[in-house]
Structures are given as C-alpha cells and as structure tokens.
Amino acid sequence: MTKRRYDLHIHTEQLGMQAAELVVVEAHHALEAIGFRYLPGYLASEHAFPLDPSALPLDERGFEFRGGAIPGVVDDYLPDDWGRRILSQIAFYQHQKKYNPNSIIDSLDMLSRSRIGGLSIVPQGGQPQFDFGANVAQIGIAESAAQRMDAPEARDSYDEASLLYLANNGTGIGGARPKALLYDAEKRYIAKFNRPAMDRYNNARVELACMKMARKANLEILDGSVQSGINEREVLLVERFDVNPDKSRNHMISINTLLRDSETQRMVHHTFRYDDIYRVLQQFSVAIEEDVMALLRLMLFNRAINNTDDHERNFSLIYRMGDSQPHGYRLAPAYDLVPTIIRGGYHAAGYKQSPNPPSLSELEGTQRIFGLSRSVVSQCVEEIGYAISQWGEVATACGIDPEEARMVRGFFNV
C-alpha cells in the first residue's frame, strides 16, 4: 500500500494560499481512498468558496472517498489523453519506468508546472506552480515537439528534450488534440496544433471561424488567431479565459464533476443531456437568467455547426470574483467549437428525449426551453440563424480554402 500527501493551493484575485490538503492511498497502483480537508486558514478567509459546491462544501470536517472514486476536483486536475501520452513517454525515457495512467499518485507526482485554472496540487511541503507555459516566441519548438509526439511513425524515436518541453508546458484541459500553453507580454494562450495525418480540414482556421461566428451569435467566447508558417504548418492561439489581467486565475470546475453523486463521487450513469447542465445552473449559478440564455445559445450553436463532441468535460462553471458581477459560479465561456464531419451521427449531449439538440428549423414554431419564454427562444433562434448565414464571409476572412469551407458548411444543421 502506498500513501501520499499533497497540498492544494489556490491563486485567485483575492486568494493566494494553501486551501486544502489531500491524502491519496493506493494498493498496487489501484486507488483505495482519497481524503480531502480544507485548512482552517482558508475557511477563515472572507473570500473562501467551495472548490466543488456539490461534493466539497466549506466545512472544517474532512471528506473521504472510497471504492476507487476520484473527487471531481482532483479528476479535473489530472492529465487529459494528450497529457497521459506525454507522461508515459517521460516516465520511460527519463525515469526508465512504466507510467500507470490509472495511478493518481503517478500522475500527481509527474504533472507539469503549467495548468489551466486556479489550482496547484503539489507534494506536501512543495511550492505551488502557476506558470503560463512557454513564451510565444517558442511556438515553433512547441509545434515541432507536438508533431513529433503525435506522429505514429515516430513513436519509437522520441526526443527527450521535446518530451520535457511538452510536459512542462501542458494544459490540463480535456481532449486528445496536441496542445500547449503559451504567453506573450500581454496575453495568455492555449495553442492548438493541426494534425495533418488525421484532420479532415484545417482545424486551426475552421475553429477560428467558428469562434468568430459564435461571437456573432452573442455567445461569450474569447478571441484567437492563426499563426502561419510554423514549421510549414498553422497553429491556433486561443486566448485563455481563466487568467485575469493581474495574472491571477479563475477556478474552473467541469460539468462532468458536478454531475457526480455528491457523496460517493461516482458518475451517475445516464445519457448526458443539455437538461443536466440546466439543472446544474439552477443549483449553483449566481446569474441564472444570463447563464440559461448562454446555455440555450450554446446548445443551438453546437447543433447548427454539427459539433457533436459536446460531452460533459466541454462545459464548465467558472468562479468569478470581479467587482462588476456577483461572486460565485457562472457558466464558463464557450470553448472547443468545431464541426464534426460525420453525417447522421449523434451528439454527445441530447435534449429531453431526443439524442440530439433541436435544430433551428425544428424551432421555427418556437417553444419554451429551459424555462425561457417562446419570444426569448425565437430571438435566440434568429441570432444563431443570422450567425450561421455569415459562414461564407467569416470563412473567407479566416483564410479557409473555398472548397474546404463548402465541405464544412455541408455538415451544418439548420
């Protein structure tokens, strides 16, 4: 049996301190139990808030999770598919050992100093790390390292320097797409790399166009840009919404976490629906009217562009502390808005009894959705419809090849 203790630090606008401590117990790399306890100093702060409002309310008592269940706030912090691939190779090349992706201890002991969100989990007594990744001037190194890692033919000839670079500038966000964190003097970015051997379109330019189209539909989404000529390829830089102007962070928690059983932290097994996100907002949002409107727009937009990858980890709540809005959890800005080039496929998230969200044409007669009136729903349908009608203009402005733009448009659902 192996037991490890970790310190959990937070770095938000009003908080920069150790907030909690963790104990992880494993037997033969299989999780036995995880203990979580808020520290008295954190609980005494006037700015303290629950890191998981469902499973970890502010309380001086400890929380214990057994039976292999992982507290969602820890699960959100663990590496994604892309990150686990990197850690696996780092373990082999640098430490001559096998990395077990099912071991929480292996993952926490090896994770990078660059993460999305406001948390840093370090071995007991360690220093918290809230790095922003690499300077954007090193984007060529990042892209080259990612392509080397992603190329099937190069799986047995990794460059240790490239692996260390990717491990130190990882993201902590979900997905399997190669990515890294970068920054310049003014902004912080998530860099998303094209996968020439696997992508059916120029992902960097198409995702940028969808982001700009989403803004026309009045969705909250940060801007981005495509960097060309990076090792003869292109990279999408997306501005991060978890970083504040003073370089502090916003704590994020995924819908995947908030849909778990609050006591056991096991996933509740049922088909995921946008209705589930609505119920989460009803429980935890401090600006319910705005967030429900945002959810409706996001659901209709995902359906319109055929973004079927709308799973639980692609939606989050973000804890905001700004003076201009109530302190508390809000629906995070939209992210990962990319079309799926498959006909007849189902969305990861359905709506009511349907496996798919409603299309714009299905709502021509309008109906109440998420408690919103018919007139409000009709207005959102018009906004999304107008945005989608601008695809040709937006695609041209983003430099998408005309034939590719027509191909992508053919999979939209309006």
Query: Residue 314 gets which letter from DSSP?
Result: G
Is 60 exceeded by the pLDDT of residue 303? yes
What's the pLDDT tens digit per position in 214-248?
999 999 999 999 999 999 899 999 999 999 989 99
Tokens standing for residue 304:
């319109």
In this prediction, residue 334 carries a pLDDT of: 95
Dihedral angle computed from the Cα positions of residues 139, 142, 143 and 147, in that order, rounded to the nearest 10 degrees = 180
306 belongs to a structural domain = yes
Is 50 exceeded by the pLDDT of residue 296? yes
In this prediction, residue 398 carries a pLDDT of: 97
Of 168 and 240, which is predicted with more confidence? 240
Tokens standing for residue 33:
């139990």
In this prediction, residue 98 carries a pLDDT of: 73
In this prediction, residue 171 carries a pLDDT of: 46
d(CA 183, CA 408): 31
Q: Give the E-state strand segments of 141-274 in sequence order.
A: 179-183, 188-193, 224-230, 233-239, 252-254
**Average pLDDT estimate for 266-273:** 84
Could you tell me if 219 and 41 are in contact, meaning their C-beta atoms sit under 8 angstroms apart? no
In this prediction, residue 65 carries a pLDDT of: 93
Of the pLDDT bands very low, low, confident and very high (cuts 50, 70, 90), residue 69 is confident
Q: Give the E-state strand segments of 77-232 in sequence order.
A: 119-123, 134-135, 179-183, 188-193, 224-230
136 belongs to a structural domain = no
179 belongs to a structural domain = no
In this prediction, residue 198 carries a pLDDT of: 83
* Residue 302: closest CA among 368, 353, 366, 350: 350
Total number of residues shown for the chain: 414
384 belongs to a structural domain = yes
* Residue 240: closest CA among 232, 228, 252: 252
In this prediction, residue 115 carries a pLDDT of: 80
Could you tell me if 387 and 216 are in contact, meaning their C-beta atoms sit under 8 angstroms apart? yes
* Residue 414: closest CA among 376, 375, 387, 393: 387
Q: Which of 167-181, 221-235, 352-366 has the lowest mean pLDDT?
A: 167-181
Of the pLDDT bands very low, low, confident and very high (cuts 50, 70, 90), residue 260 is very high
What are residue 134's DSSP bridge partners? 182
In this prediction, residue 144 carries a pLDDT of: 83
Is 60 exceeded by the pLDDT of residue 169? no
45 belongs to a structural domain = no
Range of the domain at 282: 252-409
**Average pLDDT estimate for 356-379:** 89
Number of domains in the chain: 1
Of the pLDDT bands very low, low, confident and very high (cuts 50, 70, 90), residue 266 is confident
Q: Report percent pLDDT > 70 for the chain.
A: 88
What's the pLDDT tens digit per position in 372-398?
999 999 999 999 999 999 999 999 999
d(CA 91, CA 259): 33
Is 80 exceeded by the pLDDT of residue 51? yes
121 belongs to a structural domain = no
In this prediction, residue 178 carries a pLDDT of: 81
Which three-class secondary structure state does DSSP give residue 231? coil
272 belongs to a structural domain = yes
Could you tell me if 160 and 115 are in contact, meaning their C-beta atoms sit under 8 angstroms apart? no
282 belongs to a structural domain = yes
Of the pLDDT bands very low, low, confident and very high (cuts 50, 70, 90), residue 176 is low
Mean pLDDT of the chain: 88
d(CA 91, CA 68): 24
Single pTM value for the model: 0.92
